[in-house]
Each structure stands twice: as structure tokens, then as C-alpha cells.
Amino acid sequence: MSVIPDEAHAAARGRRPQVPAADQTLRILRHLARRPAPIAASALARDLGIPRSTVYHLLATLEEHGFVVHLPQDRRWGLGTSAFELAGGYARQEPLARLGRPLVAALADRVGESAHLAVMSGRDVLYIVEERAARRPALVTDVGVRLPAHLTATGRAMLAALPRAQVRALYPDAAAFTDRTGQGPARPAELREALRTVRLAGVATEDGEVTPGFRSVAAVVRDHAGWPAAAVAVTWQSDRPGAPAEVVQEVARMLEGRLA
């Protein structure tokens, strides 16, 4: 007579096996994702009804794998880069690329310059849609290409929409900054100033920080919860007029409407 694993027995009886640690871990991640800012471990324990010692053990494991970050100066915890990887993985599947592709293609046709759609992936942006305008030079951006978020217009558009504590966790010191052309933010204070400019303008720009001789403008695309799901951008040669920022913002708002 064969032996059926306990999980199979439970499934056969129509009941799911109970895995308390997995349940508590997922509840912690969901709670952090819904918070507008990092939260103290004691507050997590109180809000979720989980023993404080258990919360600390689970947070330590999640931190080891990059799903949460500890902000020691604030004594709080927030989502880490691995959580962004999961979110980006979902976004790279349908519906974001499928819904965004025709809008990005129409944008490229409208302004006569190459346009793209990108998502965050750790400290990088990952391009998921790329539409090349006719008779325009080749770009380093393409579907599947990663570039440092702090140097790109798409990355800055999304970083500016993140909670400030989350940005500090992603860029804690100068070692977190990658250089391509010798231009762009190289320290946390410089990035904070760049993102402040983005928030004031409503769009992000870059000029020669990814590729000399090329400029970009980007607008963030937020999901139904207000989280930066992606960014739409146009890139052109610096000696050309370029794309009006309001046109890029318009496309970003249209994509938000389709994601709702």
C-alpha cells in the first residue's frame, strides 16, 4: 500500500496544510507593501498579532534575502530590492507590456523620436517596450536591457515617486552609485536633489548621463495603489528639439487609466 504525503491527504480532504511561518511571512510583506512608509517591528507585531520575537526572526530572514531592509537610524523596516524584483517580474508579464506597447508606439510616431517603457528592477531600470522611430540613431535601450536607475529619466521618474525612506535604503552611500559617462548623481545628497527637481517638474530628464549626445524625458506610471509601476520616456539627439514633456505625461496618464 502506498503512503500519501500529509499535504496530499489535506488536499484530498479539501483542506490546505497549515504553514504558520509562511503565512506570517506573507502577511508581513503584504502589510509593508500597503504602508506609505517603513514601519517599526513592534508595530508590525501589534498590527498583525504575531509575537514580537517571531517578527524579528522573520524580518532577519527576509533581510538576508533582500525582501526587506532595515533603516537603523529610524528603527524601521521597509520593502527591499527583492520585493521590487517580484513586482517587476509581474509587471513584465501581461498586462503592462501588452497595454503599454501600442501607446508607446503611438508616442514614437507622434514625436518622431524613439520611445520606451521601463520598470524598476533593484537599482536598475529594465526596458520592457522599445519603439524605434524611423531614421533615428540606434540607442543602448532595448527590450531586456538594464541601466542604472539613478542615471536614466525613467529611473528618476520612478524613484521620485517612491517613499524617501525607500530611496535611502536603495542608495545608502556612494558605493551604490554606478557611473557611465562621468555625469549624474554620485552621492545620496545629489540624488535627493535630482529627485526633488523631478517632483517639482512632474517629469524626469537626463542629458548625456547614459549616452553622450542624447537626452531623455520620462513620466511615471502609477498603479491603482499609487505605486510607481513603470515609466514612459522619449530619447532624442541633443541637437534636436526633442519631445514635449506634456506629451509624455499624457501617455503615462493614458497607461495608468488602462491599468486601473
- At residue 168's C-alpha, the angle toward residues 226 and 22, to 5°, is 65
Q: How far is CA 225 from CA 39, 135, 160, 204, 245, in A?
A: 18, 39, 16, 21, 24
Q: Give CATH superfamily name and number for 85-259.
A: GAF domain (3.30.450.40)
Cα separation, 230 vs 207, in Å, equals 20
pLDDT at position 149 is: 95
Q: Angle between the 41-48 and 52-64 helix axes, to the nearest 10 degrees?
A: 120
Cα separation, 58 vs 53, in Å, equals 9
Give first-to-last CA distance, the chain, whole Å.
53
Residue-wise pLDDT for 43-56, tens only, equals 999 999 999 999 99
Cα separation, 109 vs 46, in Å, equals 53
Whether the Cβ atoms of residue 203 and residue 219 lie closer than 8 Å to each other: yes
Cα separation, 117 vs 100, in Å, equals 7
Q: Which residues pair with 39 in a beta bridge?
A: 77
Tell me if the bond preceding 95 is cis, omega within 30° of 0.
yes
pLDDT band at 235 (very low <50, low <70, confident <90, very high): very high
The cell for 187 is 552621492
- The domain segmentation of the chain, as residue ranges, is 6-79, 85-259
Choose the weakest-confidence range: 86-90, 127-131, 191-195.
86-90
Rg of the Cα trace of the chain? 21
| 3-state SS class at 223 | coil
Burial of 27 (0-12, 13-18, 19+ CB in 10 A): middle
pTM of the model: 0.70
Mean pLDDT of the chain: 86
Maximum Cα interatomic distance, the chain, rounded to a whole number of Å:
78
For 6-79, CATH number? 1.10.10.10
pLDDT band at 18 (very low <50, low <70, confident <90, very high): low
DSSP, residue by residue, 21-36: HHHHHHHHHHHHHHSS
Q: Does the structure show a pLDDT above 60 at 200?
A: yes
Q: Does the structure show a pLDDT above 60 at 2?
A: no
DSSP assignment letter at 242? -
